[in-house]
Chains A and B, each alone.
Chain A
Amino acid sequence: MKKSLVLLLTVVFAISLAACGNNTNNNAGSANTSSPSPSASESAAPSESATPSAEPLSGSVIASGSSALQPLAQAAADKFMADDQYKGVSVQIQGGGSGTGLSQVSDGQVQIGNSDVFAEEKLDADKAKELVDHKVAVIAMAAVAHKDVGVDNLTQQQLVDIFTGKVTNWKDVGGTDAKIVLVNRPSSSGTRATFEKYALGIKTEDLPGSIQEDASGTVKKLVSETPGAIGYLALSYLDESIIALKYEGVEPTTDNVKTNTYPVWAYEHMYTKGEPDAAAKAFLDYMMSPEIQQKDVVENGYIPTSDMKIERDAAGTVTNK
């Protein structure tokens, strides 16, 4: 009895050791595959995109961060790894939030940090300077409300009044007599930062009685079910169960975002620390290729950066392309 217990424990221990060993094996394996011609692959790396089939790429890329960007990044990663050309590269996409992505890429724990906001807004200036920005898509968001509020357009001032608690009833902004219920995001959220910066123009505080949820699905569920609720969602989440409110009379559509007529949008960033290594660069290039940009980006409800008629920097200054 005792012996069998010891045996069992030993087996468990051995398996756990083996599991650890596997990892190191993998690393060694990938190192081996690249070792036959180290000098060649290094010299080829910069001109890799010009002669893609000349040198089989290998290595692993881990991207972590923004949950808003995660579905798109995952779709791109799946396609990327299915491509024969990049067989040796494994790409892992993890969530965790923009803050996590930025700190991890800044610490060198991951190769790519996904973020909804510019690094300058979250990290210290000297840390943000080390990161290289790759804007892979544009995400736009709209204020949404419960169906029965009787309003389909709000001005900036009205939104500010609502989100600061000055206006608490829909009839004060031209709607039905119903109490306004705020379905907000947590104060650290990238989505909230974008909404506050471009729709409200000010930072707001969490009001008593307001609801804070991080997940877009939960926000949508609460807004569609709670009478008098108002929140904001990415355009890909809009459907019949809620009303998307016009902003200053402008409809939240892709075309209006492209010309910045509708200003409530943000870039999705993939940050690398310094210039990316060959494998990460291949993935980022693939991310920007028409294959992803014109198909998966659009299908997942984002807007390709190349379609934007204008450019906007971290400070919010808009320039024509």
Chain B
Amino acid sequence: MNLPASEVRSAPAAKERRIPKHLAEEWRGRTYVYLCVLIMIVTIFSIVYFIASRGLAPFISHGVSVSEMMFGLEWRPDGEPAVFGALPFLFGSFSTSLLAAVIAAPLGLCASLFMTEIMPKLGKTVLQPGIELLAGIPSVVYGFVGLSVIVPFLRDVFPGLGVGVLAGSLVLSIMILPTVTTVSTDALRSLPRGLKEGSMALGATRWQTISRIILPTLLPSLLTGVVLGIARAFGEALAVQMVIGNAPHIPHSLFESAATLTSIITLSMGNTTSGSLHNNALWSLALMLLLMTFVFVFVVRMLERRVKR
């Protein structure tokens, strides 16, 4: 409301200084955007630098070898001498997130097919908001539900303690369902109409159209959703920590206590003093997580390039 008045007042002032208003505007906008981008870049680089400087310390100043950290089977930070083998955590992280993707991918895919191809109206009004709601639930709630529902269920039905890789992946699969579903729904909606109509016109049934035309065409986009889901599952800490058991060993079954990179970090970070070898070893785990994230971003980029082709 006040805007026009102030513009009128500021216009002559601008003329006096010989700076046209549109240029001043241009300059303001550009400065603001550059400032934001600068802050973002500085933040990202300082985070990477900070994690790397702490995470590389065990290798540089404490004589822990990289191969021991990557492939060692024992994690005894308090032992004499301390042993840092992170393979059980790498195994735990990969097994839980991949298993979660195996569970969530078909569910998410079918949900998005249902929402776009089968019942678009119901899908858009009921199912999609419902699934997106899942993304808004805090992870501690997922963890607590997992601990109160999934763990006792698995304990009663299967041999073992209930906690373990399977409990972790079940919780994670629900958490990544919105990611998988949203990405594949967007992909399905962006499909050119002609492709589908052409197939229908040739006399293909709906199932034939979906399985032979739509899915092969969109495979890279759908995989993007799954990879993003795996990335999310890989980085999730709290919910997994509550249900996986956190024993630093490679489990022999799906129902035996295991640990992930993230769960061991959240469990021990607060109890160790900064600068100690144990604390720095946890930063090394964080560095591994960061590198894995880069790999996931890279894979997503590759898939996106295939989509564009």
Residues of A bordering B, CB below 8 Å? 2-3, 6, 9-10, 13, 67, 95-100, 102-103, 106-107, 122-123, 181, 186-190, 203, 205-214, 218, 221-222, 225-226
Q: Does B306 sit within 8 A of A, measured CB to CB? A: no
With contact pairs A206-B249, A210-B247 given, residues A99 and B242 touching in the complex (Cβ less than 8 Å): no
Q: Choose, from B112-120, B128-136, B169-177, B271-279, the stretch at the interface.
A: B271-279
Pick the contact of B161 from A107, A181, A190 — CB < 8 Å?
A181
Q: Let me know if A187 and B256 touch, CB within 8 A.
A: no
Q: Let me know if A123 and B273 touch, CB within 8 A.
A: yes
Q: Let me know if A210 and B257 touch, CB within 8 A.
A: yes
With a cutoff of 8 Å between Cβ atoms, the chain A residues found around residue B271 in the complex are 97-100, 186, 188-190, 214
Q: Let me know if B78 and A203 touch, CB within 8 A.
A: yes
Q: Let me know if A209 and B32 touch, CB within 8 A.
A: no
Instruction: Give me 23 A-to-B residue pairs in the complex whose CB atoms sit less than 8 angstroms apart, sorted by A's number.
Output: A10-B32, A99-B269, A99-B270, A99-B273, A100-B273, A103-B273, A106-B273, A122-B272, A188-B271, A188-B272, A189-B271, A206-B249, A207-B249, A208-B247, A208-B251, A208-B252, A209-B161, A209-B257, A211-B246, A211-B247, A221-B148, A222-B147, A226-B161
Tell me, in angstroms, the Cα distance from A263 to B248 when the chains sit together: 30
Q: Does B245 sit within 8 A of A, measured CB to CB? A: yes
Pick the contact of A187 from B161, B268, B270, B274 — CB < 8 Å?
B268
- Measured CB to CB, the closest approach of chain B to A99, in angstroms, equals 4
Tell me, in angstroms, the Cα distance from A99 to B282 when the chains sit together: 13
Q: Let me know if B161 and A9 touch, CB within 8 A.
A: no
With a cutoff of 8 Å between Cβ atoms, the chain A residues found around residue B161 in the complex are 181, 209, 211, 226
Q: Does B123 sit within 8 A of A, measured CB to CB? A: no
Q: Does B162 sit within 8 A of A, measured CB to CB? A: yes
With a cutoff of 8 Å between Cβ atoms, the chain A residues found around residue B155 in the complex are 225-226
Q: Give B231-284 interface residues, CB cut-off 8 Å to A.
A: 242, 245-249, 251-252, 256-257, 259, 264, 267-276, 278-279
CB closest chain-B residue, reference A104: B274
With a cutoff of 8 Å between Cβ atoms, the chain B residues found around residue A186 in the complex are 246, 264, 267-268, 271
Tell me, in angstroms, the Cα distance from A237 to B152 when the chains sit together: 21
Tell me, in angstroms, the Cα distance from A9 to B271 when the chains sit together: 40
Tell me, in angstroms, the Cα distance from A103 to B29 when the chains sit together: 43
Q: Does B124 sit within 8 A of A, measured CB to CB? A: no
Tell me, in angstroms, the Cα distance from A98 to B152 when the chains sit together: 32
CB closest chain-B residue, reference A4: B3
With contact pairs A188-B268, A226-B161 given, residues A212 and B245 touching in the complex (Cβ less than 8 Å): yes
With a cutoff of 8 Å between Cβ atoms, the chain A residues found around residue B148 in the complex are 221
With a cutoff of 8 Å between Cβ atoms, the chain B residues found around residue A206 in the complex are 75-76, 247-249
Tell me, in angstroms, the Cα distance from A16 to B76 when the chains sit together: 44
Q: Does B28 sit within 8 A of A, measured CB to CB? A: yes
Pick the contact of B32 from A13, A181, A187, A189 — CB < 8 Å?
A13
Q: Does B77 sit within 8 A of A, measured CB to CB? A: yes
Q: Let me know if B249 and A211 touch, CB within 8 A.
A: no
With contact pairs A95-B270, A211-B163 given, residues A205 and B77 touching in the complex (Cβ less than 8 Å): no
Q: Does B81 sit within 8 A of A, measured CB to CB? A: no
Interface centre among A181, A187, A213 (most CB of B within 10 A): A187
Tell me, in angstroms, the Cα distance from A6 to B269 when the chains sit together: 41
Q: Does B79 sit within 8 A of A, measured CB to CB? A: yes
Q: Let me know if B246 and A212 touch, CB within 8 A.
A: yes
- Measured CB to CB, the closest approach of chain A to B309, in angstroms, equals 33
10 A-B pairs closest in CB distance? A97-B270, A188-B271, A212-B246, A208-B249, A103-B274, A103-B273, A99-B272, A186-B267, A97-B271, A211-B245
